[in-house]
Amino acid sequence: MKEGHLPVLAEEVLEMLSPRSGSLQIDATVGGGGHTERILEASKPDGRLLGLDADPAAIDRVRRRLGPRFGDRLVLRRANFRELASVAPEAGFGSVDGCLFDLGLSSYQLADTDRGFGFRAGGPLDMRFDVSRGVPASELLATLDADELTALFRRYGEEPKASRIARAVVEARRTAPVVTAEDLAALVERVAPPNPRQRRRTHPATRVFQALRIAVNEELDALAAGLAAAVDLLRPGGRLVVLSYHSLEDRIVKRFLAAERRGCICPPELPVCVCGHNPRLRLVTRPSVTPTPEEVARNPRSRSARMRAAERLAA
């Protein structure tokens, strides 16, 4: 069967989690179920996995595809991983051997012509993983002023031409609001065309799309909350594995792991530790793992992936 979403760094993730029979694992971003499927296969006959996704379509798809094969070894919940601290214990996963975060969006979402995640697929600019929360991206483009849009494109997209693009959005909406992915991609292409000398050609709207998606899903806040909850849920020896796809995500992961490894969270100007925090994690990947050129050739979506993993220490 040809898969719609190829799991990234699948072998490496399995090696890090080494899921055994009888273990309890969490896949906080079940997506197309690629990692989930491999973890359940590797932990047969009775390893169990809790799979979360904020997107109900992902949960439905994985339930249909994997439910009949794995039965009650697979527990699925439509939930944001920022709620992991309450969702996991309620589902019977209060103390686990592994937890995986494979951040960002799946190829199914990118190809969905109704949600505006990708400039190639097009469609109305919604971009929410869960449409019952927050506001669509088109509403931000229709209501934020030029300074607010500039700040958003800079903060979440690290877009160097943020101000020029923001002003063009505000100018364009005087006559017609920017409501589709095609509208936005064309506008960015017009006001911030690609540099012909640039070696790696990405679409000029890539950073703006990323910024809007991060904003409407509050992705960076969710990540910080999800990571903190995951460490609380891990048993000693349990592993946390995170795949990130851009520097903003990876920075949060890297800093989080460094703080948990160090233990002390006192401000650097204090001469002695007063916080009393103990290290809770040991880094397993140092510094990080990226896909091989063969994997990138097979699956171009993996090219920006970076995996970091850590192990929970005994209390």
Ligand X SMILES: C[S@@+](CC[C@H](N)C(=O)[O-])C[C@H]1O[C@@H](n2cnc3c(N)ncnc32)[C@H](O)[C@@H]1O
Q: Closer to ligand X at the Cβ: 163 or 290?
A: 290
Instruction: Choose which of 9, 17, 32, 209 interacts with ligand X (CB under 6 A).
Output: 32
Minimum Å gap between C-beta 177 and ligand X is 26
Minimum Å gap between C-beta 15 and ligand X is 16
Q: Is 180 helix (H, G, I), strand (E, B) or coil?
A: strand
Evaluate the CA torsion angle 98, 102, 108, 113 in order and state its sign. positive
DSSP 35-51: HHHHHHHHTTTT-EEEE
Q: Which residue is nearest to ligand X (CB)?
A: 31
Minimum Å gap between C-beta 136 and ligand X is 15
Stretch that binds ligand X, among 49-57, 88-96, 139-147, 250-258 (CB under 6 A): 49-57
Q: Closer to ligand X at the Cβ: 24 or 52?
A: 52
The strand pairing partners of 289, in sequence order, are: 307
Q: If binding is defined by CB under 6 A, does position 12 make contact with ligand X? A: no
Instruction: Choose which of 12, 97, 102, 183 interacts with ligand X (CB under 6 A).
Output: 102
Instruction: Choose which of 70, 81, 93, 153 interacts with ligand X (CB under 6 A).
Output: 81
Q: If binding is defined by CB under 6 A, does position 105 make contact with ligand X? A: yes
Minimum Å gap between C-beta 12 and ligand X is 13
Q: Are 313 and 281 in contact (CB under 8 A)?
A: yes
Q: If binding is defined by CB under 6 A, does position 51 make contact with ligand X? A: no
Question: From the centroid of its chain, how far is CA 290?
Answer: 16
Minimum Å gap between C-beta 295 and ligand X is 13
Q: If binding is defined by CB under 6 A, does position 7 make contact with ligand X? A: yes
Q: If binding is defined by CB under 6 A, does position 106 make contact with ligand X? A: yes
CA 274 to CA 168: how far, in whole Å? Answer: 51
84: left (phi over 0), alpha (psi -120 to 50) or beta: alpha
Q: If binding is defined by CB under 6 A, does position 209 make contact with ligand X? A: no
Binding-site size, ligand X (CB under 6 A):
22
Quick one: which H or E segment has residue 311?
Answer: strand 306-312
Evaluate the CA torsion angle 199, 200, 203, 207 in order and state its sign. negative
Q: Closer to ligand X at the Cβ: 66 or 208?
A: 66
Tokens 């160090």, located at residue = 262
> What is the arrangement of strands in the sheet containing 48-53, beginning at the earlier edge strand?
74-78, 48-53, 24-27, 96-102, 234-244, 306-312, 281-283
Tell me the chain's radius of gyration from C-alpha atoms. 20
Minimum Å gap between C-beta 78 and ligand X is 9
Interface residue list for ligand X (CB under 6 A): 5, 7, 29, 31-35, 52-55, 58, 80-82, 102, 104-106, 129, 222
